[in-house]
A = this chain, B = another copy of it.
Amino acid sequence: MTTTAVLLIDCPDRKGLVAAIANFLVHEYDANVLNADQHQDAALGLFFMRVEFATDRSCDDASFRAAFAPLAAALNLHWTFTLQSKPLKVAIFVSHYLHCLADLLHRHQTGELPCTLSLIISNHESARPLSEFYGIPFHFTPVTPATKEAVEAHHLDLLAANNIDLIVLARYMQILSSRFVQAYPLKIINVHHSFLPAFTGAKPYHAAFARGVKLIGATSHYVTAELDEGPIIEQDVTRVSQSDQLPHLIQKGRDLERLVLSRAVRWHLAHRILSYANKTVIFS
Give residues in A with beta carbon < 8 Å to B.
15-16, 18-19, 22-23, 25-27, 32-43, 48, 98-99, 102-103, 106, 110, 112, 129, 133, 195-199, 211-215, 217, 231-237, 239, 241-243, 245, 251, 255, 259, 277-282, 284
| CB-defined contacts of A214 to chain B, threshold 8 Å | 232-235
| CB-defined contacts of A98 to chain B, threshold 8 Å | 106, 110
Known contacts A39-B242, A99-B110, A213-B196: does B19 contact A27 (CB below 8 Å)?
yes
Distance in angstroms between the alpha carbons of A22 and B21 in the assembled complex: 10
This chain: copies in complex: 4
By secondary structure, the A interface counts as: mixed
What are the 5 tightest A-B residue pairs by CB atom distance, in nearest-first order? A212-B279, A19-B22, A198-B198, A214-B235, A242-B281
Least distance between A130 CB and chain B CB atoms (Å): 8
Closest to A129 in B: B133
CB contact between A251 and one of B23, B102, B112, B281 (< 8 Å): that residue: B112
Known contacts A27-B19, A243-B39, A281-B242: does B255 contact A259 (CB below 8 Å)?
yes
Distance in angstroms between the alpha carbons of A229 and B175 in the assembled complex: 30
Distance in angstroms between the alpha carbons of A241 and B214 in the assembled complex: 17
Q: Is the CB of A38 within 8 A of B39?
A: no
| CB-defined contacts of A236 to chain B, threshold 8 Å | 215
Known contacts A196-B213, A198-B198, A213-B232: does B245 contact A43 (CB below 8 Å)?
yes
Q: Is the CB of A278 within 8 A of B212?
A: yes
Please list 25 pairs of residues, one from A and one from B, whose beta carbons are closer than 8 Å in the complex, sorted by A's number: A15-B32, A16-B26, A19-B23, A19-B25, A19-B26, A35-B38, A35-B40, A98-B106, A98-B110, A99-B106, A133-B133, A196-B198, A196-B213, A197-B213, A212-B278, A212-B279, A212-B280, A214-B232, A214-B233, A214-B234, A215-B217, A237-B237, A239-B239, A241-B284, A255-B259
CB contact between A215 and one of B233, B237, B243 (< 8 Å): that residue: B237
Distance in angstroms between the alpha carbons of A61 and B106 in the assembled complex: 41
Known contacts A18-B22, A112-B251: does B241 contact A215 (CB below 8 Å)?
no
Distance in angstroms between the alpha carbons of A48 and B38 in the assembled complex: 14
